[in-house]
């Protein structure tokens, strides 16, 4: 996506949508609704992007712009919130659950909460956004401006940063990923092991907070870092075992509550598909959202 101006963002989204239609062999009149998720603060009801620093959008009526182009209803949601819905539907296929939390650990950390089967957005659409809870006052500088956010310990970008500072990436900086850090840890590299252990510890605590705050049945994990597999899971499981043992509330923090999404599952995509389906059911039109669908 080209991000210099709102017009270019819209043009890029429009081009991508037409490309997707072409790939699917469909015409726009065969499509009943569109779903769009973006990294930023979004008002799902009005379709306005309040703040999306990475896309350079401020108080921008993105849904209106997209609807004007395609003439069909369009839903707009924050990417972490959309992925929360997608993650919920993944678990729902196997087991009936009503309350879940989702943590996406990719480059950064996004999270969201579903309560009683509905997305819980909160007053500013930011409910559950634990990636920016400060866990280490005075710690590393986060993308959001604060220091020591959870994201600066467990986010992919910062795992790489910590490993680079420890000299693990020397000579291969350009292609160095979180996978390499986990591989080095498995090969017995002490600095890598310390980073990986810390990710497991802090993520385990984050899961504990979500369970204690919302009493969710499942905490679902997704994103590139979680798809590393056993090397990712093992230190997290250690922490969960410890949390179980240290407290009389330990029974709440069972490993069975934690679900890892399969690597190929695009939670954000399925989340906006679900939202678009709901919009059609609720009678959304290209002109606007019926007042009755407000929640």
State which residue, 42 or 135, has the beta carbon closest to Zn ion: 135
Using rule CB under 5 A, residue 149 touches Zn ion: yes
Nearest to 105 by CA among 16, 204, 194, 38: 204
Which range binds Zn ion by CB under 5 A, 57-65, 140-148, 206-214, 259-267? 140-148
* Tokens 């900086």, residue located: 173
Which range binds Zn ion by CB under 5 A, 78-86, 107-115, 144-152, 247-255? 144-152
Determine the longest span between alpha carbons in the chain, in angstroms: 59
State which residue, 145 or 171, has the beta carbon closest to Zn ion: 145
CB of 149 to Zn ion, least distance (A): 3
State which residue, 82 or 149, has the beta carbon closest to Zn ion: 149
State which residue, 63 or 132, has the beta carbon closest to Zn ion: 132
Q: In whole angstroms, what is the distance from residue 136 CA to residue 149 CA?
A: 7
CB of 281 to Zn ion, least distance (A): 36
Which range binds Zn ion by CB under 5 A, 70-78, 137-145, 220-228, 259-267? 137-145
Nearest to 214 by CA among 257, 160, 172: 257
DSSP 288: -
Q: In whole angstroms, what is the distance from residue 28 CA to residue 16 CA?
A: 13
Binds Zn ion by CB under 5 A, chosen from 36, 75, 135, 142: 142
Q: In whole angstroms, what is the distance from residue 269 CA to residue 288 CA?
A: 23
Using rule CB under 5 A, residue 132 touches Zn ion: yes
Using rule CB under 5 A, residue 153 touches Zn ion: no
Which range binds Zn ion by CB under 5 A, 51-59, 81-89, 105-113, 149-157? 149-157
In the chain, which ranges are E strands? 34-38, 41-43, 48-52, 57-60, 74-78, 100-105, 109-115, 118-119, 218-222, 258-260
State which residue, 145 or 262, has the beta carbon closest to Zn ion: 145
> How is residue 245 written in tokens?
């043992």
Which range binds Zn ion by CB under 5 A, 27-35, 131-139, 262-270, 283-291? 131-139
State which residue, 50 or 237, has the beta carbon closest to Zn ion: 50
Binding mask 78-117 for Zn ion (x = CB under 5 A): ----------------------------------------
- How many residues touch Zn ion under the rule CB under 5 A: the total is 5
Q: In whole angstroms, what is the distance from residue 255 CA to residue 218 CA?
A: 10
Q: In whole angstroms, what is the distance from residue 40 CA to residue 3 CA?
A: 14
Q: In whole angstroms, what is the distance from residue 66 CA to residue 68 CA?
A: 5
Residue 160: CB atoms within 10 Å:
20
> How is residue 225 written in tokens?
């870092």
Binds Zn ion by CB under 5 A, chosen from 31, 133, 144, 260: 144
| Residues making contact with Zn ion (CB under 5 A) | 132, 142, 144, 146, 149
């Amino acid at each position: 996506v080209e991000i210099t101006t709102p017009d270019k963002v819209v043009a890029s989204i429009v081009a991508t949508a037409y490309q997707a239609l072409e790939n699917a062999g469909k015409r726009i009149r065969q499509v009943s609704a569109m779903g769009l998720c973006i990294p930023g603060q979004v008002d799902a009801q009005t379709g306005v992007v309040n703040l999306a620093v990475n896309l350079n959008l401020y108080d921008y009526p993105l849904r209106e712009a997209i609807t004007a182009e395609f003439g069909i209803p369009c839903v707009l949601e924050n990417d972490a919130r959309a992925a929360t819905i997608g993650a919920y539907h993944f678990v729902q296929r196997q087991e009936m659950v009503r309350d879940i939390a989702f943590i996406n650990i990719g480059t950064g950390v996004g999270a969201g909460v579903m309560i009683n089967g509905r997305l819980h957005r909160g007053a500013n659409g930011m409910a559950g956004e634990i990636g920016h809870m400060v866990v280490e006052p005075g710690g590393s500088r986060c993308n959001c401006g604060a220091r020591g956010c959870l994201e600066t310990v467990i986010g992919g970008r910062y795992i790489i940063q910590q490993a680079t500072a420890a000299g693990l990436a020397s000579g291969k900086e350009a292609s160095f990923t979180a996978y390499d850090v986990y591989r080095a840890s498995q090969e017995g590299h002490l600095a890598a092991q310390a980073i990986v252990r810390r990710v497991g510890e802090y993520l385990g605590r984050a899961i504990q907070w979500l369970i204690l705050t919302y009493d969710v049945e499942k905490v679902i994990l997704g994103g590139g870092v979680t798809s590393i597999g056993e090397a990712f899971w093992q230190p997290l499981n250690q922490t969960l075992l410890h949390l179980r043992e240290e407290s009389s509330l330990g029974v709440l923090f069972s490993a069975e509550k934690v679900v890892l999404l399969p690597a190929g599952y695009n939670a954000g995509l399925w989340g906006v598909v679900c939202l678009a389906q709901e919009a059609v059911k609720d009678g959304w039109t290209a002109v606007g959202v019926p007042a009755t669908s407000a929640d």
